């Protein structure tokens, strides 16, 4: 089996593996949060979009809808960086599994385009498509969930070097999937269930933000958001247990005591989640920060699963480093300036969000 | 050799890349130029205190920021996505070499998206100065991400000093980088103008229409006017072999080069004699024809850029079939299949030359040839006999098509010949009907 593992790229890593891993985890966490806001926000917008005019749910859905195209655009943009780092660190596994499932992997691109276009038409140009906008939005959700499923497929198939050669022997046409893997459904569910949790927080925060013009509505939004957060997190915990049990024992056991670090990270993630649940009713901001940190812990756990599954066949720490410090510093400076620019832009946008003259018309 | 090969029947993977790349190039340059267009048009409206011009700029913000920008992003990811499926070894090389350049480009790209969203949101909400500043951040970061990526694209064709120095700075600051940047920037401006012609030609207020159509036409003329000069500058930096391919070496590539120049010329002429001289009469259909010319010119140019890179995917570093000149000696002595991780026939098949040949073909030829679809190998070798095939394969890099040299042992070459002969026997429209061509006949034909 190990003979099919592609060799290390002779050009090597551009920096120490640990630094690249840190960047990968950081950017992936941001991507995941944006993804959750998009998917969960869509679910909420659809559920409350059916409320009749005048019900607080109708305004809630409208405000959610206004966020979604931007949230999806950010999800896509924030996904680019982790995609870069996964190739740099684990290209040997990632390219191989991608080629094996080439057609479905390729499907991600048109599916994203159509899903985004659907959102844009349904929520920003409702006048163009009339009463079909709700149906179109459902279609977009389905496509988004499909994209997530394809991702889960590739991210688990790349962890299974033993499956590659047999799958390729069955077909070289790029039509393989990883459907026989017990990890896949559990992992998929666990990732997707985080969406209503995070979006619930967004809803609760929205209740806080728009408190002044309409206090009654704000209370409703706040309560609804917190309810989604609580119910979603309960389901998420259950799916997490299933996921943990679906891991191969040699890997799962690491999180159940065999490795103090890994057990600690997972426990910390769960504790942060539980504390967030407990404080959510009192402070949505605190719950948001805690949940963000909890997601960060889970991303680290996910990373550790990958390292265990791939070791020793693919091991980023074993790739020679051809560091270029000038360019690494250039990146650090750009990142700092970019973060400052984003902060300034967001600040400007928030400062003018009180005035209601309206955004660009058609 | 190192990765499994995705078998795309009939067309091969190359066509998929081309399809998505042309769409992406068109949309992404348009997105960048569109940013500049919005900011400058808004500025013009602000200076003249002209509400109609401001309304015109504001009217296009949604489409440019929410549709074009996002589709530019998705299709751009899509290009690399597809190349990674068709040639993972090459993408791996680019990703490892240029990781920091990609990462920097990504930061600009993120700022661009956030700024564009805020710019859209800020219309009528922000004071004019802040809004203009946001617009400049939007356009500036868009152009900076082009600056970063452009160096990677030209590196694939003009690797410059990098093969000797192995320095990332030399790789990025390669000879083609600046001329290509000039060319792409000009394309951005021209495409923004083309789009603006489509929208301004539909304005109902004739006085406003006249102003905006003329204004948009200037964008096209300035942008498209710079392209030929930047193009010549770029052509001057090309490797000799690439220039040869584009200017007569291969009829097909030359035809596309000519098409690209002709279409650009038509675009300028059409813009001068249409919208520039007769702004009030300009019809949206005419504007769409100009857009089609621009799309054609962009597509042809990108096609040439890809085609003249043969036989390399990364100049002087890696051939289109993922083999590296640097590995030539090792692979030749050890054997192609013995050096491969994938496509190694089962032990029991090692005595079967046809099976060995099939693997050799997949590893070494299938990146450019399909069996019987596009650039079919069955067609290319129709009627060749064993001796001729064996002899030609030894000189593969001197045949037409700008191919890499054959790499492998004598036994593997024998297997490849046996496999190609077996294709003639089984395929439609080949074999017995045609008389076998001898070497003498072939030499005459050349
Ligand atoms: C509020 C509670 C929780 C949140 C917000 C949360 C969220 C997440 C997210 C978003 C991921 C990334 C999944 C991926 O991209 O594949 C993840 C991974 C993970 N979670 Fe959770 N989770 C929670 C609770 C739990 C619980 C209760 C368990 C187990 C008992 C658990 C076990 C795991 C494991 C093992 C991973 C690592 C994954 C890998 O292989 O990728 N989580 N979590």
Write out the two tokens for B374: 């596009």
Cis ω before A312 (30° cut-off from 0):
yes
Confirm if B198 and B64 have CB atoms less than 8 A apart. no
What's the average model confidence in pLDDT over B143-161? 96
What is d(CA B135, CA B142) in angstroms, rounded to the nearest whole number?
A: 11
* Distances A248 to A22, A154, A191, A334 between C-alpha atoms, Å: 25, 17, 18, 41
Q: Is residue B1 part of a domain?
A: no
Q: How far is the CA of B265 from the centre of ligand 1 (A)?
A: 58
User: At a CB cut-off of 8 Å and minimum separation 6, what does B388 contact?
Assistant: B437, B438, B439, B442
**B329 shares its domain with B308:** no
The H or E element spanning position B312 is strand B312-314
Residue B3 falls inside a structural domain: no
Q: Residues B408-422, buried b or exposed e (16+ Cβ, 10 A)?
A: bbeebbbbbbbbbbe
Q: Tell me which chain A residues have a C-beta less than 8 angstroms from the C-beta of B97.
A: 11, 14
**Among B298, B319, B340, which residue terminates a domain?**
B319
Tokens for A358, please give them. Answer: 């309206």
How far apart are alpha carbons A299 and B86 in whole angstroms? 30
Q: What CATH number is attached to the domain comprising B407? A: 1.10.760
Q: Which of A131-140, A188-197, A349-358, B305-314 has the lowest mean pLDDT?
A: A349-358
Answer whether A173 touches B (CB < 8 Å).
yes
Rounded Cα distance between B244 and B230, Å, is 19
pLDDT digits (tens, 9 = 90+) for A221-267: 999 999 999 999 999 999 999 999 999 999 999 999 999 999 999 99
**Which among B146, B91, B140 is positioned nearest to B115, based on CA atoms?**
B140
Same domain? B373 vs B398? yes
| Whether the CB of A148 sits within 6 Å of ligand 1 | no
Residue B183, Cβ density class (10 Å: 0-12 exposed, 13-18 middle, ≥19 buried): buried
Is B103 in contact with A23 (Cβ distance < 8 A)? yes
C-beta atoms of B113 and A73 within 8 A: yes
Cross-chain CB nearest to B99 (options A88, A346, A357) = A88
Q: Examine the pLDDT at B439 and tell me if it is beyond 50.
A: no
- The CATH number assigned to the domain with range A17-351 reads 1.20.1630.10
- Among A190-204, A223-237, B298-312, B360-374, the range scoring the smallest mean pLDDT is B298-312
Angle between helices A102-124 and A56-100 (to 10 degrees): 160
Q: Are B214 and B275 in contact (CB under 8 A)?
A: yes
CB-CB contact of B11 with B17 (8 Å)? no
Identify which of A245, A268, A269 to mutate to test ligand 1's pocket (most ligand atoms within 8 A of the CB).
A269
Please name the member of B69, B95, B122 whose beta carbon is closest to the beta carbon of A84. Answer: B95
| Co-location of B142 and B234 in the same domain | yes
If DSSP codes are grouped into helix, strand and coil, which group holds residue A334? Answer: helix
- Asked whether A197 lines ligand 1 (CB < 6 A), one says yes
Does the C-beta of A251 come closer than 6 Å to ligand 1?
Answer: no
Both tokens of B299, joined, read 């597509």
Contact A362 B168 (CB under 8 A): no
Question: How far is the C-alpha of A279 from the C-alpha of B338, rounded, in Å?
Answer: 62
Residue B90 in contact with residue B314, Cβ under 8 Å? yes
Q: By percentage, how much of chain B surpasses pLDDT 90? A: 71
Shared-domain flag, residues B115 and B251: yes
Residues B267-298 as b or e (16 or more Cβ within 10 Å = b): bbebbeebbbeebeebeeebbeebbebbbbbb
Q: Answer whether residue B350 is part of any domain.
A: yes
Q: Do residue B403 and residue B285 come from a single domain?
A: no
Q: Is B391 an 8 Å CB contact of chain A?
A: no
Residues of chain A neighbouring B73 (CB-CB closer than 8 A): 73, 76-77, 80
Question: Chain A contacts of B5, Cβ < 8 Å?
Answer: 99, 172
Which residues, 6 or more positions from A195, have their beta carbon under 8 angstroms from its beta carbon? Answer: A35, A36, A37, A38, A39, A40, A43, A232
Give the domain range for residue B333: 325-445
Task: Identify whether residues B211 and B359 lie together within a single domain.
Answer: no
Domain presence at residue B245: yes
Rounded-to-integer distance, Cα A291 and Cα A271, Å: 10
Say how far apart CA A51 and CA A57 lie, in whole Å.
6
pLDDT, tens digit, 9 for 90 and up, residues B315-337? 999 999 999 999 999 999 999 99
Partners of residue A13 on adjacent β-strands: A321
DSSP assignment of A137-157 equals HHHHHHHHHHHHHHHHHHHHH
Q: Name every residue whose Cβ is closer than 8 Å to that of residue A155 and which is 6 or more positions away in sequence.
A: A187
Q: Do B282 and B342 reside in the same domain of the chain?
A: no
Of B319, B349, B365, the domain-final residue: B319
Identify the band that residue A209 occupies on the pLDDT scale cut at 50, 70 and 90. Answer: confident
Q: Which residue has the tokens 């020793």?
A: A312
**Co-location of B145 and B274 in the same domain:** yes
Q: Is ligand 1 within 6 A of the CB of residue A39?
A: no
For chain B, the domain total comes to: 2
For residue A65 and ligand 1, the question of a CB distance below 6 A is answered with no
A77 CB neighbours in chain B (<8 A) are 73, 109-110, 113
Separation in Å, CA A350 to CA A33, A342, A347: 20, 12, 5
Look at residue B433 and tell me whether its pLDDT is greater than 70. no
Q: Indicate the pTM of the whole model.
A: 0.92
In ligand 1, the atom with minimum distance to the C-alpha of A198 is: 5
Residue A347 has pLDDT above 80, yes or no: yes
Identify the weakest region by mean pLDDT among A62-71, A227-236, A261-270, B76-85.
A62-71
Task: Give the pLDDT score at B384.
Answer: 92
- Say if residue A133's pLDDT is above 90: no
Q: What value does the mean pLDDT of chain B take? A: 90
Chain-chain contact of A352 with B122 (C-beta, under 8 angstroms): yes
Region label for B12, one of left (φ > 0), alpha (ψ between -120 and 50) or beta (otherwise): left
Q: How far apart are CA B211 and CA B200, in angstroms?
A: 9
B125·A102 Cβ contact <8 A: no
Q: How far is the CA of A20 from the centre of ligand 1 (A)?
A: 22
Closest CA to A201 of A24, A40, A62, A70: A40
Give CA–CA dist B170/A326, Å, rounded. 13
| Exposure string for A128-166, b = 16+ CB within 10 A, e = fewer | eeeeebeebbebbbebbbbbbbbbbbbbbbbbbbebbbe
Q: How many CB pairs under 8 A join A and B?
A: 215
Question: Which of B4, B31, B71, B140 to mutate: most A Cβ within 10 Å?
Answer: B4
Domain membership of residue B404 (yes or no) is yes
B121 touches chain A (CB under 8 A): yes
Ligand 1: centre distance to CA A233 (Å): 11
Instruction: Please tell me if the CB atom of residue A265 comes closer than 6 angstroms to any atom of ligand 1.
Output: no
User: Does any ligand 1 atom lie closer than 6 A to the CB of residue A309?
Assistant: no
Task: Answer yes or no: is the C-beta of A79 below 6 A from any ligand 1 atom.
Answer: no
The Cβ of residue A2 has, within 10 Å, a number of other Cβ atoms equal to 10
> Does residue B178 form part of some domain?
yes
Asked whether residue B259 carries a pLDDT value surpassing 60, the answer given is: yes
Cα of B436 vs centre of ligand 1, distance in Å, is 66
Q: How far is CA B195 from CA B38, B68, B271, in A?
A: 12, 11, 12
pLDDT-derived band of residue B428, with 50, 70 and 90 as boundaries?
low
For residues B124-153, give the mean pLDDT. 96
Q: What is the pLDDT of residues B96-122, one digit of tens each?
A: 999 999 999 999 999 999 999 999 999
pLDDT at A361 over 60: no
A222, A240 contact by CB (below 8 A)? no
| Spatial contact of B94 and B75, defined as CB atoms under 8 Å apart | no
Of B61, B78, B109, the CB nearest to A360: B61
Is residue A122 in contact with ligand 1, taking CB distance under 6 Å? no
β partners of residue B318: B314
Q: Per residue in A141-173, pLDDT tens?
A: 999 999 999 999 999 999 999 999 999 999 999
CB A108 within 8 A of CB B81: yes
B97 to A342: CB separation less than 8 angstroms, yes or no:
no
Q: Does residue B251 or residue A184 have the better pLDDT?
A: A184
Q: B92: buried, middle or exposed (CB in 10 Å: 19+, 13-18, 0-12)?
A: buried
How many CB atoms are closer than 10 A to CB B68? 21
**Considering CB atoms only, which of B6, B113, B123 is closest to A74?**
B113
Q: How far apart are CA A246 and CA A170, in angstroms?
A: 26
Grouping H, G, I as helix, E, B as strand and the rest as coil, residue B349 is: helix
| Contact by Cβ (8 Å): A255, A301 | yes
pLDDT for position B347: 78
Contact assessment for residue B363 and residue B340, using Cβ atoms and an 8 Å cutoff:
yes
φ and ψ of A48, to 5 deg? -85, -10
Provide the pLDDT for residue A59: 92
Q: What is the pLDDT of residue A128?
A: 82
């Amino acid at each position: 089996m190990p003979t099919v593992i592609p060799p290390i790229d002779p050009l090597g890593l551009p920096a120490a593996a640990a630094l690249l891993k840190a960047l990968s985890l950081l950017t992936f966490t941001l991507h995941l949060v944006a993804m959750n806001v998009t998917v969960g926000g869509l679910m909420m917008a659809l559920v409350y979009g059916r409320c009749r005019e005048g019900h607080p749910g109708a305004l809630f859905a409208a405000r959610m809808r206004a966020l979604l195209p931007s949230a999806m655009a950010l999800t896509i943009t924030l996904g680019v960086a982790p995609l870069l780092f996964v190739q740099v660190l684990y290209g040997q596994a990632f390219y191989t599994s991608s080629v094996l499932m080439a057609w479905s992997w390729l499907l991600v691109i048109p599916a994203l385009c159509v899903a985004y276009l659907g959102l844009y038409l349904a929520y920003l140009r409702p006048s163009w498509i009339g009463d079909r906008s709700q149906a179109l939005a459902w279609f977009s959700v389905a496509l988004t969930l499909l994209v997530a499923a394809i991702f889960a497929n590739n991210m688990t198939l790349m962890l299974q070097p033993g499956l590659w050669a047999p799958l390729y022997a069955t077909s070289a046409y790029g039509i393989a999937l990883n459907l026989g893997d017990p990890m896949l459904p559990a992992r998929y569910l666990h990732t997707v269930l985080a969406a209503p949790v995070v979006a619930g927080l967004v809803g609760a925060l929205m209740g806080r933000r728009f408190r002044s013009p309409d206090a009654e509505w704000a209370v409703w939004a706040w309560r609804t958001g917190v309810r989604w957060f609580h119910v979603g997190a309960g389901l998420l915990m259950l799916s997490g247990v299933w996921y943990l049990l679906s891991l191969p024992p040699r890997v799962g056991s690491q999180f159940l005591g065999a490795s103090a670090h890994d057990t600690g990270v997972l426990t910390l993630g769960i504790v942060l989640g539980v504390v967030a649940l407990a404080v959510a009713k009192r402070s949505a901001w605190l719950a948001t920060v805690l949940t963000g940190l909890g997601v960060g812990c889970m991303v680290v756990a996910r990373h550790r699963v990958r390292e265990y599954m791939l070791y020793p066949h693919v091991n980023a720490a074993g790739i020679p480093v051809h560091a270029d410090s000038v360019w690494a510093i250039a990146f650090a400076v750009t990142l700092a300036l970019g973060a400052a620019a984003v902060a300034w832009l967001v600040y400007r946008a928030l400062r003018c969000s009180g005035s209601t003259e309206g955004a660009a018309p058609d | 050799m190192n990765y499994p090969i995705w078998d795309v029947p009939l067309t091969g993977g190359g066509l998929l890349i081309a399809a998505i790349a042309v769409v992406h190039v068109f949309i992404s340059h348009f997105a960048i130029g569109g940013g500049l267009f919005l900011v400058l048009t808004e500025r013009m409206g602000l200076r003249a205190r002209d509400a109609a011009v401001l309304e015109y700029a504001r009217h296009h913000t949604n489409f440019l920021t929410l549709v074009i920008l996002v589709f530019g992003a998705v299709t751009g990811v899509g290009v690399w996505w597809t190349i990674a499926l068709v040639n993972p070894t090459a993408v791996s090389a680019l990703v490892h070499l240029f990781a920091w350049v990609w990462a920097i480009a990504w930061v600009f790209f993120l700022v661009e998206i956030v700024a564009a969203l805020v710019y859209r949101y800020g219309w009528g909400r922000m004071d004019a100065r802040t809004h203009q500043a946001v617009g400049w951040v939007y356009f500036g970061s868009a152009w900076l991400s082009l600056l970063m990526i452009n160096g990677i694209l030209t590196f694939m064709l003009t690797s410059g000093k990098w093969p000797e120095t192995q320095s990332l700075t030399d790789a990025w600051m390669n000879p083609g980088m600046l001329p290509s940047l000039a060319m792409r920037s000009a394309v951005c401006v021209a495409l923004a103008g083309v789009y603006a012609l489509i929208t301004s030609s539909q304005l109902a207020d004739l006085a406003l229409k006249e102003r905006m159509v003329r204004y948009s036409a200037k964008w096209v003329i300035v942008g498209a006017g710079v392209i030929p000069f930047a193009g010549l500058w770029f052509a001057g930096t090309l490797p000799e072999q690439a220039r040869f391919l584009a200017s007569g070496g291969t009829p097909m590539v030359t035809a596309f080069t000519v098409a690209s120049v002709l279409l650009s010329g038509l675009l300028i002429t059409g813009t001068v004699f249409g919208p520039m001289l007769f702004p009030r009469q300009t019809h949206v259909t005419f504007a769409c024809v100009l857009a089609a010319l621009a799309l054609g010119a962009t597509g042809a140019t990108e096609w040439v850029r890809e085609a003249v890179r043969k036989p390399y995917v990364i100049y002087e570093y890696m051939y289109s079939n993922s083999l590296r000149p640097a590995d030539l000696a090792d692979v030749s002595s050890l054997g192609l299949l013995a050096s491969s991780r994938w496509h190694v026939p089962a032990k029991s098949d090692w005595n079967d030359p046809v099976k060995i040949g099939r693997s050799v073909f997949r590893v070494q030829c299938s990146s450019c040839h399909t069996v019987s679809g596009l650039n079919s190998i069955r067609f290319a070798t129709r009627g060749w006999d064993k001796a001729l095939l064996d002899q030609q394969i030894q000189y593969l890099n001197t045949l037409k098509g700008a191919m890499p040299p054959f790499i492998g042992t004598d036994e593997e070459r024998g297997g490849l010949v046996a496999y190609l002969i077996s294709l003639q026997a089984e395929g439609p429209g080949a074999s017995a009907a045609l008389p076998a061509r001898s070497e003498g006949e072939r030499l005459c034909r050349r």
